[in-house]
């Protein structure tokens, strides 16, 4: 089993602050009574979570995140449990290495031309997980070791919702008008 310890930090660039995790330590550990079974079970996750919470209680510090990863590549099983204090709001489903990112000042419409975006390299041992980006942006495209994540600002989400509602209202009015003419 792998234990990773991260420190909460942030990247600031182009008028945007992005919460990140900086990997401090990654080591192989043994936790009594936990092994990879044929299937990742609720019991395995519960044991892993209990071991994790004991460790976190022993070393409770603000601004850190601790994660245990139980992995058996042959069986295709991966169980993760983590806990920390600090940033809230999900950017990725679990800590994932951030490779690069692009800040978009306008709402993305249609297909993004990736080669035309201004990319920022994240650097070594930088992980994306929780938090809420702050600053002047409409969207941020994160490229991670687990794939791409598109994060829209709250303002961009509100604009999209308003546009959808207006389109729906417009189509309802058209349907009503067509119904009257028939």
123 within some domain: yes
pLDDT tens profile 135-174 = 999 999 999 999 998 888 888 767 666 666 666 666 555 5
pLDDT digits (tens, 9 = 90+) for 124-133: 899 999 888 9
Answering whether pTM is above 0.85, one says no
Calpha distance 119→164 (Å, rounded)? 30
Domain residue limits at 62 = 2-155
99 is a domain residue:
yes
In a domain, residue 169? The reply is: no
Task: Classify residue 182: in a domain, yes or no.
Answer: no
Q: What is the pLDDT of residue 102?
A: 94
**DSSP-assigned letters across all residues of the chain:** -EEEEEEEEEEEETTEEEEEEEEEEEEE---TT----SS--HHHHHHHHHHHHHHHHHT--TTEEEEEEEEETTTTEEEEEEEE-S--SBSSSS-EEEEEEEEESS---S---GGGS-EEE--TTEEE-B---EES-SEEEEEETTEEEEEE-HHHHHHHHHHHHHHHHHHHHHHHHHHHH-
Q: Is residue 173 part of a domain?
A: no
73-98: pLDDT as tens digits: 666 666 676 667 656 668 888 899 99
Total domains, the chain:
1
Confidence band, pLDDT 50/70/90 cuts, at residue 42: low
Query: Is 170 part of a structural domain of the chain?
Result: no
Whether 25 maps to a domain, the answer reads: yes
Residue at 86 is within a domain: yes
Band (182; pLDDT cuts 50, 70, 90): low
pLDDT by residue (tens digit) across 9-28?
A: 999 998 899 999 999 999 98
Q: How many residues does the chain have?
A: 182
The whole-number pLDDT of residue 81 equals 66
């Amino acid at each position: 089993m792998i234990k990773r310890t991260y420190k909460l930090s942030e990247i600031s660039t182009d008028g945007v602050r992005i919460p990140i995790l900086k990997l401090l330590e990654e080591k192989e550990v043994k936790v009594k009574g936990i092994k990879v079974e044929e299937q990742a079970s609720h019991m395995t996750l519960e044991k892993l979570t209990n071991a994790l919470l004991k460790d976190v209680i022993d070393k409770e510090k603000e601004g850190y995140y601790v994660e245990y990863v139980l992995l058996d590549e042959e069986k295709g099983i991966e169980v993760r449990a983590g806990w920390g204090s600090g940033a809230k709001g999900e950017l990725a489903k679990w800590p994932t290495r951030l490779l690069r990112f692009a800040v978009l000042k306008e709402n993305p419409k249609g297909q993004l031309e990736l080669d035309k975006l201004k990319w920022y390299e994240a650097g070594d041992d930088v992980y994306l997980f929780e938090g809420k980006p702050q600053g002047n942006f409409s969207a941020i495209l994160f490229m991670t070791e687990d794939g791409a994540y598109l994060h829209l600002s709250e303002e961009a989400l509100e604009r999209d919702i308003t546009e959808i509602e207006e389109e729906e209202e417009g189509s309802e009015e058209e349907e009503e008008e067509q119904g009257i003419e028939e």
